Amino acid sequence: TESTDYGTTYTKLNLMPGTTIVVTSFYICPTNKKKVVLVGSSINERDQMLFVSTDEGSSFQRQSISFTPDTLVFHPKEEDKLLAYCKEGRLFASTDLGRKWTLLQERVTKDRVFWSVAVVDLDPDLVHMEMQDSNGGYLYVTCLIQNCSDKMVTTQFLGKIDHNSLLVQDDYIFVKVTTGNRTKHYVSYRRNKFVQMRFPKYSLPKDVQIVSTDENQVFLALQEWYQSDTYNLYQSDPKGVYYSIVLENVRSTKQPEENVLIDILEVRGIKGVFLANQKINGKVTTLITYNKGRDWEPLAPPATDMNGKPITCKKPDCHLHLHLRWADNPYVSGTVHTKDSAPGLIMGAGNLGSKLVEYKEEMYITSDCGKTWRQVFEEEHHILYLDHGGVIVAIKDTSIPLKILKFSIDEGQTWTIHNFTSTSVFVDGLLSEPGDENLVMTVFGHISYRSDWELVKVDFRQSFPRQCAESDYDSWQLTDLQGEKCIMGQERTFRKRKDAAFCIKGKSYTSALTTQPCQCTEKDFTCDYGFEWSYIEGKRCFADFWYDPDSPPEECHLGQNYESSTGYRKMVSNLCEGGLNKQQSAKQHNCPLLPPKGLQISIKGQMLAVAPGDDITFVVHQEQGDTSSTKYQVDLGDGVRAIYQNLTVTDEPIQHRFENPGVYKVTVKTENMAGHDEATMYIQVTAPLQEVHLEVVPIARKNHEVNLTAVVLPTEANLTIFYWWIGDNLQPSLTLQNSLLTRFPETGEVSVSVQASNGRSMVQDTRTVQVYDNFQVIPLSFSSNLDQLNPNIPEWREDIGQVVTKILAKITGVPQESLVTVVKPGLPTAADLYVLPLDSKQDKRSVFVDKVHVILLVYVLILPGYHGAAGGPGVWALAVIFLISIIATGTFILYKFKRKLPGSRNIYAQMHNEKEQEMTSPVNHSEDTQHIIQGNHSGVVLSINSRELHSYLSS
């Protein structure tokens, strides 16, 4: 429904006759309020639609859309142009009030889309936006709504910016870039190139919030490295580059949505007036400035309370303090109320005393811009200004239902109570029709928590019999708390309605009356960049310890002139003329030929590790020094060299490809007649890693050294870092070599992982190691014909080890879980046989026997079904000789065979000491173990002495 008579009657809007429409949001054009756009969907069809009206809702045109808009933004000057932002990051544009839509871009950041600014941007169809690139970084780009393809998007800031940092406001564009733990803020003034914003050298900002950008100056709040719940206020030069502090420790509050609210309020209606809550040692006090931060003073308390009784508290421990927070409900005002068309009128909630008290919210009002105050209520009220502040409406801020409101037509001198409804309602908010001159308001609320909203119209037009004439106004002159009339270089006079004049100000009312420039005095100047106020010998500006006032600026070029700062600069937007000039004594200097300083070289995209053949763009930046007469020698490290002139001025890119893997030292040397500088960076050119294999013995002895080895593919990979995780330790050991010596302090199963990283990729492998207090290791060697078939890869070694383990377990009868064969890398082929204890207790029939030194085992191994290297089928026989050397005691031996089987293909030999000992079985503790050789295999036992061993092995 809609009303065109201030809520007297309402008419149903017929969007789609016979169909129920769910309206999700509506938008009214800010420049032409006849144009209304509703966003909704049909319950039956479930499709999204726009309903557009150009006649204040008398008729609507339905327009189907293929997306769900989250926000619609009208062009500030051309109301037929719309931007639609979708939750998934897609941005659409329309030039005909929603009839046709064009997808501009995807991956756009919400609330970081801005229409062109008149006068500053040449093309009205330009759109500024922050968008995500294919690598996940964020860029500041612009495009025209007629063609915004990837090829037509223009990147306005070289390099990536922080997410959610783009801000386009008036003449300025702001972005920030974080590298490591340092954040740099950049500004573009009137669309010129971006320049780093210069704060005091050791401010080290954690966060920056823009307060205002009007009057050709940036006013911002900056949280420094040592602050947690306060910010400092800074003012800039006209270009927004150099900043000087104006107030420290302004209170801040962090909202649940990560938004930060700072207790700074610009008083609307009179430029240069701000209120701020300063927090020092936990004590919050309210200050006011009339000259945009140069001077701050506490608010003077009223002489009497609301009942006319004298105030008991006295200065300096008694001042007025106001809550400067915003309202959570968008339909009720905050705690301090100002209006552009009501200059000097400020109404707010607070208390008297030495500090601001959170639970005290008495209401105070001033009609002379903060010089004198009056108390009007003992509790906080919602406030609404009507008719340029000619009517002030107040409704108590309470959780109980109400039926009365209060209003004043004499700027809070007297208040009238009005019953706006016969039934008490819970007030949810106050609304007024657009326009400062309006005298009709709406109270909306609910009778009970389960009821629908109730709308109550209150019309104050009947309270005034006529329109105001010129004789109904008085004039008043703006002064600060000291009575000074010259503020910001001029005297300003305003007019207001006389208290006894009961008339309507109306649409044609203007508040400003006259302005008169003043002669410049000391109060019209503030501290320049690099200077701070000192109160030791009066209020004077002194240079900070880190700043040299006579040093030439960075943009100073040979042949130009510059002025060394006197410590003072005239405040931006100050209109004083003649009189004192604190800048007059500034010395004139010729710009010297400055040596290059702060030379830096980087890669676009910040990658220092690249693949062979990648396209690389080098960027050279020079912080200080003359660039017009400077030569730059560039050496890319692979034989390519070049000389450039004005390299950092022209922003000429250096593009190159490194074809071969390796480390390349890229050097830029710059030199002019005054000096030289050099910058170096190392580029790692390496192919991505494919695989890593962890070589580690599966069995280890407690507290004995174990070697871990990582084999990386491709084998020619360079510049690899290895991360070793052992057990449950989350802190890895790092090595540049592919091996690590370690010890396992506890028995049991230990997981070992290695990650190999070369800057381009990372691969991982994991192995498990069994740690024992004691076990036996028997070296094994093989006949040389096995080496011809050894590809020396981990999989082959694992397979051979498993085959040998199975054979030995089968032949000896030792349980397979007690034997582990580990084939070693490299040639000749060798292995270690690990014999593990069967249990924790040794018994009489131990598998280990002392004083046996050498067992020679010769075995012919048949591997059926093997396909050779040539790929042909067949069965091959591999003669494997295991030489088992027992050096220590406790060696495992074969069972003593007591018979010779015919057709022997297997020969077992054992070497005895000179005094032959009977051999006992190391296996199953049963007599059945004599049958450990099965199938077609047969064996024979040969006895030889030690002197015969060498000749036997040779044959």
Tens of pLDDT, residue by residue over 286-306, are 999 999 999 999 999 998 988
φ/ψ (deg, to 5) at 88: -80, 5
Taking residues 756-785, what's their average pLDDT?
Answer: 88
The torsion defined by the Cα of 478, 483, 488 and 493, in degrees rounded to 10, comes to: 20
pLDDT number for residue 331: 66
Query: What confidence tens digit (pLDDT) does each residue in 935-949 have?
Result: 333 332 223 333 333
Give 228-263 as a 3 state SS string.
CCEEEEEEECCCCCEEEEEEEEEEEEECCCCCEEEC
pLDDT value, residue 782:
87
Q: Supply the CATH classification number for the domain 470-517.
A: 2.10.70.80
Q: Is there a cis peptide before residue 517, judged by omega within 30 degrees of 0?
A: no
Rounded-to-integer distance, Cα 28 and Cα 36, Å = 5
**How buried is 189 (Cβ within 10 angstroms: 0-12 exposed, 13-18 middle, 19+ buried)?**
buried
The CA distance from 848 to 818, in Å, is 13
Where does the pLDDT of residue 228 fall: very low under 50, low under 70, confident under 90, or very high at 90 and above?
very high
pLDDT per residue over 143-194, tens digit each?
Answer: 999 988 888 899 999 889 999 999 999 999 999 998 877 899 999 999 999 9
**Angstrom distance (rounded) from CA 637 to CA 660:** 12
Q: Summarize pLDDT for 586-636 with one digit per residue, the tens.
A: 788 888 888 888 888 888 766 778 888 888 888 888 877 777 778 889 999
**Looking at residue 911, what is its pLDDT?**
31
pLDDT digits (tens, 9 = 90+) for 843-856: 433 443 332 233 33
**3-state DSSP call for residue 905?**
coil
- The domain 686-774 is placed in CATH, from the list 2.40.50.430, 2.60.40.2470, 1.10.530.10, 2.60.40.730, at 2.60.40.2470
Task: Out of 352-366, 429-443, 695-709, pick the least confident.
Answer: 429-443
Residue-wise pLDDT for 457-512, tens only, equals 899 988 888 999 999 999 999 999 999 999 999 999 999 999 889 899 988 888 88
User: Three-class SS of residue 522?
Assistant: helix
Mean pLDDT across 887-900? 31
Residue 434, Cβ density class (10 Å: 0-12 exposed, 13-18 middle, ≥19 buried): exposed
Q: What pLDDT does residue 431 have?
A: 84
Instruction: Quote the pLDDT of residue 724.
Output: 94
pLDDT class for 816, splitting at 50, 70, 90? confident
- For the chain, how many residues are written? 955
Structure tokens at 682: 């190392």
Residue 528 CA: distances (Å) to CA of 115, 489, 519, 574: 34, 18, 21, 15
Residue 299 CB neighbour total at 10 angstroms: 25
Q: Which of 85-99, 338-352, 353-367, 829-843 shows the lowest mean pLDDT across its residues?
A: 829-843
Taking the C-alpha atoms of residue 940 and residue 908, their distance in angstroms, rounded to an integer, is 6
How far apart, in whole angstroms, are the C-alpha atoms of residue 530 and residue 541?
Answer: 10
Q: What is the mean pLDDT of residues 899-905?
A: 33
Query: What amino acid occupies position 58?
Result: S
Per CATH, which fold does 522-591 belong to? Wheat Germ Agglutinin (Isolectin 2); domain 1 (3.30.60)
Q: What is the mean pLDDT of residues 122-127?
A: 93
The whole-model pTM stands at 0.71
d(CA 127, CA 83): 9
Q: Which two tokens stand for residue 523?
A: 């109060």
Instruction: Kindly state the average pLDDT of the residues 411-431.
Output: 90
Q: Where are the domains of the chain?
A: 470-517, 522-591, 597-674, 686-774
Measuring CA to CA, which residue among 466, 468, 461 is closest to residue 432? Answer: 461
CB atoms within 10 A of CB 195: 16
Domain 597-674, CATH class in plain words: mainly beta
Q: Is 843 exposed, middle or buried (0-12, 13-18, 19+ CB in 10 A)?
A: exposed
List CB contacts of 589: < 8 A, sequence separation 6 or more.
Answer: 550, 552, 561, 562, 563, 564
Distance, in Å, from the CA atom of 206 to the CA atom of 222, rounded to the nearest integer, reads 8
Cα separation, 13 vs 61, whole angstroms: 12
User: CA-CA distance, 73 to 622, in Å (whole number)?
Assistant: 40
Topology match between the domains 522-591 and 686-774: no
Residue 44: what pLDDT? 64
